[in-house]
Amino acid sequence: MYSREESEYYRAKLKAAQRLFRGDVKPRDLPSNREIRDELQRMAHLFEGEARYENLREMRFEALRLMRKLAVFRPRLIGSTLTGHVRKGSDVDLHVFAAGPEPVVTILEEEGQRCDVEHKRVRKDGEERVFTHIRFHDRFPFELTLYPPDKAHYVFKSSITGRAIERASIAQLEERLAKEYPGASLDQETLEEESRVDRFLIYETLLLPLERIKENPAYHPEGDALYHSLQVFDLARDESPYDEEFLTAALLHDVGKGIDRSDHIGAGLEALEGFITPRTAWLIAHHREGLEMLDGNLGVRRCRRLEQHEDFDMLEALARCDRDGRVPGTETPDLEEAIEFLRELSHMCDG
């Protein structure tokens, strides 16, 4: 469960029991949900340290910002963001009350979110129920569970404790945040200003048009610019799997081709300004010179100037990946996998 291989307690218990024991396992021999939750918290404290508490603070303020946007649906914050039992990758979980998902999704889409709506059938105690979930990824992953309006005051029970779950309305969350983070501004305008754009969504938005950019087969026999970018990223991952800035440059080096092919480097850097580090920007800015250098077509003075830079070795590595990432039919990660790899690497580095 810590590595997100499983998200449901019962399935995680069964899978663990099957790995550890042969034969049938009685339910009384399995740990309780509370014991698993407590162990997950110990692991989070061990592996994530103090960064987890700063992450929790930001998740709570992001929850408040969104709840105010959805106030008409009487949102309630539940789960680990409220209780404090967060770990890397935890969702911000909300209950919202509406007759259907459409009006909720409309507000979210007006906020620039791309939502997935899932209708999940669950059979419990001989009764089948359908739960509607709305998921999207902003600064943090959000999961909204939709209930009919007449359930707003219904007492939901926890699968961990068997008791009424802890939840907070907008007013209750405001009161809690004021007590736990004295001095922090709860003003909506301030929260909006502090809410950073998810740079990984920006990356994905800029990369998607590259699938329509067909390259010159004389230089790029592999096909479109997105396929090339994913090949370069995969080669870069083999070269330096924990260098987030280098991998980001590898994935994004050609995004400008979807904006202005006559100056794809300048166009790409302009679009990425504020969403990449200076080191990543330098690698992208000079990746074409790196290729010319590998081919022996770069002048001596320009070569010497590049060689004096502290990241010259990584520019050479990027150029090799760029040159070699042009193989028709080779297997690559898909775009979603590449973005998620960078996102997870970023969380790991922050931790």
Would you give per-residue pLDDT tens digits along the chain (351 residues)?
A: 666 667 677 778 888 887 887 777 777 778 887 787 777 667 666 655 555 678 889 999 999 999 999 998 999 999 989 988 777 778 899 999 998 999 899 999 888 888 999 998 877 667 788 899 999 988 889 999 999 988 888 888 876 567 888 999 999 999 999 999 998 888 887 777 666 667 888 898 889 989 988 888 888 899 899 999 999 999 999 999 999 999 999 999 999 998 888 899 999 999 898 889 999 999 999 999 999 998 888 889 999 999 999 999 999 999 999 999 999 999 999 999 999 999 888 877 654
Distance between start and end Cα atoms, the chain: 19
3 state SS of 77: strand
Is residue 80 within 8 A of residue 90, CB to CB? The reply is yes
User: Which pLDDT value is given to residue 316?
Assistant: 95
Is residue 91 within 8 A of residue 79, CB to CB? The reply is yes
Q: How far is CA 315 from CA 54, 245, 321, in A?
A: 34, 12, 10
User: Which pLDDT value is given to residue 348?
Assistant: 76
Find all residues with CB under 8 Å of 347, minimum gap 6, and list them. 88, 89
User: Which pLDDT value is given to residue 351?
Assistant: 46
CB atoms within 10 A of CB 92: 24
Strands (DSSP E) along the chain, which ranges? 76-78, 92-97, 116-124, 127-137, 141-147
All domains of the chain in start order, with CATH? 31-194 (no CATH), 199-350 (1.10.3210.10)
User: Which pLDDT value is given to residue 189?
Assistant: 74
User: Which pLDDT value is given to residue 349?
Assistant: 66
User: Which pLDDT value is given to residue 168?
Assistant: 95
